[in-house]
Amino acid sequence: MDNILSVLVFFPAIAGLLGFVVDKKSARAYGITVAAIEFLLSLWLWFSFDTSNAGMQFVEMIPLIPDFGVNYYLGVDGISLFIIIMATLMTLIGMMSMSIEKDVKNMIITLLFLEMTMVGVFVALDAIIFYLFWELSLVPMLYIVGAWGGPLRVYAAIKFFLYTFMGSLVMLVGMLFVAYVYHNLTGVWSFAITDWYALVLPVNYQLWLFAAFFLGFAIKVPMFPFHTWLPYAHGQAPTIGSVILAAVLLKMGTYGFVRFSLPMFPDASVMMITPIAVISIVMIIYTAMVAYAQKDMKQVIAYSSVSHMGIIMLGIFALNSEGIGGSVFQMLSHGIVSGALFMLVGVIYDRRHTKLMSEFGGLASVMPKYAVIFGIMLMASVGLPLTIGFVGEFLVLLGFYDVSPIMTILAGTSIIVGAVYMLSLYKKSFFGPITKEENKTLKDLTPKESWSLIPLVAIVIWLGVYPKPVLDPINKSVNAMLVFMDEKAITAEAKEMIKVPHAATKTGEVK
Amino acid sequence: MENLVYIALFAPLVSSLFAALFGMSPKKQFVGVVASVLLGISLVASLMLASYVYTTGNTIHVTMMDWISAGDLHIPFGFVVDQVSVTMMSVVTLVSTVVHIYSNGYMDHDKSFNRFFSYLSAFVFSMMVLVMSDNFAGLFIGWEGVGVCSWLLIGFWYHKEDVSREENPSISPSWAANEAFIMNRIADLGMLVGLFILYWNVGSLQYDEVFAALPHLSGSILNAAAIFLFIGAMGKSAQFPLHTWLTDAMEGPTPVSALIHAATMVTAGVFLVIRANPLFSMTPDVSYFIAALGTFVAFFAASMALVNRDLKRIIAFSTLSQLGYMFAAAGLGAYWIALFHLAAHAFFKALLFLGAGNVMHAMHDELDIFKMGGLKKTMKWTYIYMGLASLALAGIPFFAGYFSKDAIIETAWNEGTLVLWLILVVTAGMTAFYSFRQVFLTFEGDERYKQYGIHPHEMYKYVLIAMSPLAILAVIAGFFKEPFEHFVTALLPEYHMSEHTHHIAWLLGIVVLVFAVGGIALAFKKYYKGLKRDEALESSWYYKLLANQYYIPDFYEEFISKPYAMISEKMWNSVDMRIVDATVDGIAKFLYETGDGSRKMQTGNLSNYLNWMAVGAVLLLVVAAVSAAVIG
């Protein structure tokens, strides 16, 4: 299959369109089937992926507006490959576990469209195509929160939409400006990211452009202080919305930094290390404390997402292979773990229609299976070795230590403050005597719920014990990117800070 | 031989997974039996490896597979069986096997019997990973793994409610479990930083590569690495100021206290210092600090044990104190003596805890020794066991503790650190006193339990038999001192007493002995005949200070836990909601209202529009003029 990427992008959308004619009763089964096929396709992508090649693979290019250099241009490398697989997996699992009764068919169609936009963002190699999918992804999410959400859903949905949209517009201006500069320098128009990589920009241009892209990405991540849309969105969104939002949509922001900001603006990135590290540390500590203060289980997980995204941001700006590789791995890890945690909160919400921790207590006695899976995800979330959560966090902190020991120690408090809010959540909800009468008769996980969660548990342990199959391709592409950034950097400081691993220089892996 | 390594390592994992299969079902006796047998297999494999290493002097190094590789970092799952690790493996599996068999009896009425074995075996597996790894990252896997198992096991009776500190100093099992986990995490951050320092200066985390590269590193880097690694050790080994979790950990079932919080896990910090001895021997200042802190903790913990009334907490304080002794030895460079005391302590302290478990089993979970007394009639064997263990702990000649603890005290003299020596000697007297205070109050004197309507009974016979290896070792382990020294100094630096110390060794021994016997005699005088309470003493300020653990738990509560919760609450309500989010909404509202306000311009009145046009034109002209003036 030469155009596997196009198939991956448009298969869910086409299936979604066909979904309109599917009978309401079978909509769920239809959706799961489509999502499963899509997931298998993404696995097939992995199997046919050439792990020895650090560059873009499965490239497709069809000119769209040749005069302006806008192309339908897709490709994947080690960095995007696994995020795509995670996106298709979480869509599938999310659908399998979905407990929504109202307008199931609409939900399925919406999710399939959302899947198209998510995959689209991660395979796009043309800035315009990237922007298109990036913005389109807002619409299904707006609908999911606005139509299936809680009492404040309209406020939350509009806040989410307008806030992230505003950031993206600034990013779009930045993109247009890059294309304009490219045209000035080369005489041709191009929106291809790979063309833009070759552009060596003066430092002041880099700084302005970095700022423009930063606003778009930072709101999406979300970085402090742009994060306040997130608790509202999670608080109001139905479980499936939160799962997709936390697992995949947030990763678009961090992916954007890796795909655009770093290779395009290496000097600006080096200059921005300190400010971004400071913001990341604030994210890590401050939101972990805010998470500890929450009364609502779901809000704890929502704020913990911001805290974990801080770790990811920190690793990206370590500008060495350990840090960036760890960040990309942590994106996957956070996707799986936070997705699972949101599903787990959904499980108890379906039973009790409340998420307040004070309503629970002693759940471990009545719902042992639930408690076990929650416990495993908790341990992955606090970064226990041999779970998926450790690998990324460890590599990020290790990587950043080379940049600044003091800041690493501050960021490293994440292993303490993270344990504080997660263990306190677990103690309040699962331990102690059962105080509420309603909780005494709660049913443990249903087969549907178990079958959605067990695969995630398996992945959490598998990639914790043996992360190599995923880490190697990521590492390869990251190394290639670093080599290339190092060559391209203008300032001496940037050349100094961008660390090319010995492994990459020895074999002369230059793209 | 390679297969033996894997058998020793993975048999406990198999046991854990097997028990986990039945984790949610009611008690199944065979789960306990199978787990104990698998642990026995691991023990046999470890002993065979030990004899192999002992007889041939070879070490075994296996690499199972890659774990993490990114950039220049490569971490394999590699295991090394050398003199140090094989000693630890033998001690760990021996105590574990005894504790597994013991638990069959101790946990027989618990509805979560199967779950217990799953956790307990998982702990042993983690501990084996910790001691067998050939690199610091692998050690960290085990390090965190034992932490989680400890969390699970301290909080094993998670259904218990939180109560006030007056009622139960540990509040509840789940509270104590969280405290232990979080406090250990604080130390683990230090440990991670230590790893990062080593990686970025050496380029590897493998022990052999790191130790080989140490001579090329600068003093400040060595010191930093040593300090941060030791911070990690302080957490696991509960050294001041991270010590409060250990006594609270007594909320877990007693076999857990014996295995994890006395014999094995808490010694992981000492093991780390011993394992990384090439690093610590190059940093004399850090090492001296370790010795001084260890000595302080030895005394500090013993002082709290003097007045405590809780059977298990007394032993926990005693563990803390003995860990202090081990650190004192390691800090003074006598690594093999530290390791020897670690092993000897594991035997007699586990025995002491298991004896305490028998007492609890008999007394229906009563822990207050003021409510016991006269138990020797019904629990003869337990009395003998706990008596032997206490003799060993007190350092009475020819019991295990005599050989190991005296060697440490002698080391302190030999190094010329007379203050440390003096404190350690005094502590030895205190140790003897509190140990026998406990033994006499429990087993001798009047039968105070009768007024509480308790009918004690001796533990099952097979449990008593299972405890016998520990009892034997508590008595005879000291006689293996010389072969042991010969064995482990193949890897660890040798440590010899100076000529001068050697000459007066008998005198030093007598001084210590006088203190130890004096402590026992004092305990005999005060408590042998029964409990006579001294109101004046009990209401004195120093008694209260000790009984309240120097108010350190209260201090942590008031100055760390509560402020943290309060600041978190403020961060959320005042900062996140009122400032950050309100600003965002404020900007949005401003934009909206500007739009709403400027809508009034759209009146539909043509002359109005013309007015606005004129204003606009004037404004634009001004802008043009100004910019022309500025730029032009």
HEC letters along A284-324 = HHHHHHHHHHCCEHHHHHHHHHHHHHHHHHHHHCCCEHHHH
pLDDT value of residue A510: 41
As given in the structure block, the two tokens for residue B96 are 């574990």
d(CA B35, CA B29): 10
Flag whether pLDDT at A503 surpasses 80.
Answer: no
Q: A427–B73: do the CB atoms touch at under 8 Å?
A: no
Distance from B196 to chain A by nearest Cα, in Å?
A: 6
- CA A331, A332, A334, A340 dihedral sign is positive
Tens of pLDDT, residue by residue over B245-288, are 999 999 889 999 999 988 899 999 999 999 999 999 999 999 99
A386 vs A102, which has greater pLDDT? A386
Residues B558-581 have a mean pLDDT of 89
Say if residues B278 and B214 touch (Cβ distance below 8 Å).
Answer: yes
pLDDT digits (tens, 9 = 90+) for B427-475: 999 999 999 999 998 888 888 888 888 888 888 888 899 899 999 999 9
Chain B residues within an 8 Å CB radius of A78? none
Which residue in A228, A405, A433 is closest to B581 by CB distance?
A228
Partners of B162 on chain A (C-beta within 8 Å) are 432
**Which residue among B72, B140, B148 places its CB closest to the CB of A502?**
B72
Distance to chain A for B455, nearest Cα, Å: 29
Given a cut of 90, whether residue A269 has pLDDT beyond it is yes
Q: Which two tokens stand for residue B89?
A: 């493996």
CA distance A288 to A282: 9
Pairing of strands B60-70, A70-76: unpaired
> In chain B, what residues touch A479 (CB-CB under 8 Å)?
71
Instruction: Give yes or no for a contact between B322 and B246, defined as CB atoms under 8 angstroms apart.
Output: no
Contacts with B56 (C-beta within 8 Å, 6 or more apart), sequence order:
none
Closest Cα of chain B to A481: distance in Å?
A: 12
B447 Cβ contact partners less than 8 Å away, ≥ 6 residues apart: B373, B374, B375, B377
Our CA-based measurement puts residue A510 at a distance from the nearest CA of chain B, in whole angstroms, of 15
* Residue B348, Cβ density class (10 Å: 0-12 exposed, 13-18 middle, ≥19 buried): buried
The amino acid occupying position B152 is L
Q: Quick one: tokens of B571?
A: 């961060």
Amino acid type, A262: L
Residue from B229, B226, B71, B228 nearest A399 by CA: B71
CB contact under 8 A, A293 and B568: yes
Residues of A with CB below 8 A from B186's CB?
Answer: 416
- Cβ of residue A466 closer than 8 Å to a chain B Cβ: yes
Asked whether residue A509 carries a pLDDT value surpassing 50, the answer given is no
A73 and A124 in contact (C-beta within 8 Å)?
Answer: yes
Chain A residues close to B129, C-beta within 8 Å: none
pLDDT tens digits, one per residue of B149-177: 999 999 999 988 888 888 888 889 999 99
| H-run or E-run covering B63 | strand B60-70
Task: Write down the pTM of the prediction.
Answer: 0.93
Chain A: residue whose CA lies nearest to B65: A466
Interface of A with B in 126-185 (CB under 8 A): 159, 162-163
A433 touches chain B (CB under 8 A): yes
Taking the CA of residue B569 and the nearest CA in chain A, the distance in Å comes to 5
CB atoms near residue A388 (< 10 Å)? 30
- A290 contacts B158? CB cut-off 8 A: no
Q: Looking at beta carbons, which residues of chain B come within 8 Å of A506?
A: none
Contact B351/B467 with Cβ under 8 angstroms? yes
pLDDT one-digit tens code per residue, B505-540: 888 889 999 999 999 999 998 888 887 788 888 888
List CB contacts (< 8 A) between A457 and chain B.
none
**In terms of DSSP H, where are the helices of B78-172?**
83-106, 113-132, 136-154
3-state secondary structure of B333: coil
CB neighbourhood size of A211 (10 A):
15
pLDDT tens across A352-368, in order? 988 889 889 889 989 99
Q: Which of B141, B159, B572 sits opposite A433 (nearest CB)?
A: B159
**Is A369 an interface residue toward B (CB < 8 Å)?**
yes
Whether the CB of A443 is below 8 Å from some CB of chain B: the reply is: no
- Which of A28-32, B312-316, B448-452 bottoms out in mean pLDDT, i.e. has the lowest? B448-452
Choose, out of B133, B188, B196, the residue to mutate when testing the contact with A (most A CBs < 10 Å): B196
Would you call A321 and B72 a contact, using CB atoms and an 8 Å cutoff? yes
Preceding omega of B241 cis (within 30 degrees of 0): yes
A423 CB neighbours in chain B (<8 A) are 178, 181-182
* Apex A290 CA angle, A286 and A291, nearest 5: 115
Q: Which residue of B has its CA nearest to A466?
A: B67
Strand partners, B206: B135
Contact B71 A466 (CB under 8 A): no
Give, as one character, the DSSP assignment of residue A356.
B
Mean pLDDT of the region B611-615: 89
Nearest-angstrom CA–CA distance, A426 and A363: 9
Percent of chain B with pLDDT over 90: 62
CA distance B138 to chain A (A): 9
A-B interface: how many C-beta pairs under 8 angstroms? 156
Take residue A323 and report the two structure tokens written for it.
């840090």
- Chain A residues with CB-CB distance to B69 below 8 A: 468, 471-472, 475
Question: To which H or E segment does residue B79 belong?
Answer: strand B73-81
Nearest CA in chain B to A406: B193
Q: Pick from A386, A419, A431: which is nearest to B155 by CB?
A: A431
- Using DSSP's 3-state secondary structure scheme, residue A383 falls into coil
**Crossing angle of helices B136-154 and B113-132, rounded to 10°:** 160
Q: Beta-strand (E) ranges in A134-288?
A: none
Is the CB of A415 less than 8 angstroms away from the CB of B189? yes
Angle between helices A127-136 and A138-148 (to 10 degrees): 0
Nearest chain A CA: its distance from B141 CA (Å): 5
Condensed to tens digits (0 to 9), the pLDDT of residues B57-87 reads 889 999 999 999 888 899 999 999 999 999 9
B69 closest CB neighbour out of A289, A420, A468: A468
Is A440 near chain B, with CB under 8 Å? no
Backbone dihedral region for residue B530 (phi beyond 0: left; psi -120 to 50: alpha; all else: beta):
left
Asked if B292 and B331 touch (Cβ cutoff 8 Å), the reply is yes
Q: In chain B, what residues touch A466 (CB-CB under 8 Å)? A: 65, 67
Cβ of B24 within 8 Å of Cβ of A368? The answer is yes
* Cα–Cα distance for residue pair A242/A156, rounded to 1 Å: 12
AA letter at B412: A
Mutation for testing the A interface, residue in B9, B21, B63, B68 having most A CBs under 10 Å = B68
Nearest C-alpha in A relative to B138: A385
Q: Which two tokens stand for residue A78?
A: 């080690």
3-state class (DSSP) for residue B65: strand
A286 contact residues in B (CB cutoff 8 A): 571, 575
* Inter-chain residue contact A433 with B160, CB threshold 8 Å: yes
What band does A506 get if pLDDT is binned at 50, 70 and 90? low
Q: What is the complex's ipTM, to 2 decimals?
A: 0.92
Q: In B259-331, where does DSSP find H-type helix? A: 268-275, 277-281, 284-305, 311-331
Residue A454 has pLDDT above 60, yes or no: yes
Give dist(CA B461, CA B513) in Å, integer. Answer: 35
Q: What percent of chain A has pLDDT over 90?
A: 79
Cβ atoms of residues B474 and B351 within 8 Å: yes
Check whether A265 has a pLDDT greater than 80: yes
pLDDT at B612 (0 to 100): 87
- Rounded Cα gap, residues A157 and A149, in angstroms: 9
Q: Which of A293, A369, A502 sits opposite B572 (nearest CB)?
A: A293
Beta bridge partners of A126: A192
Using CA atoms, how far apart are residues B332 and B418, in angstroms rounded to an integer? 12
Residues of B in contact with A409 (CB under 8 A): 189, 193
User: By percentage, how much of chain B surpasses pLDDT 70?
Assistant: 100
Maximal CA-CA distance, chain B: 116
pLDDT-derived band at B632 (thresholds 50, 70, 90) equals low
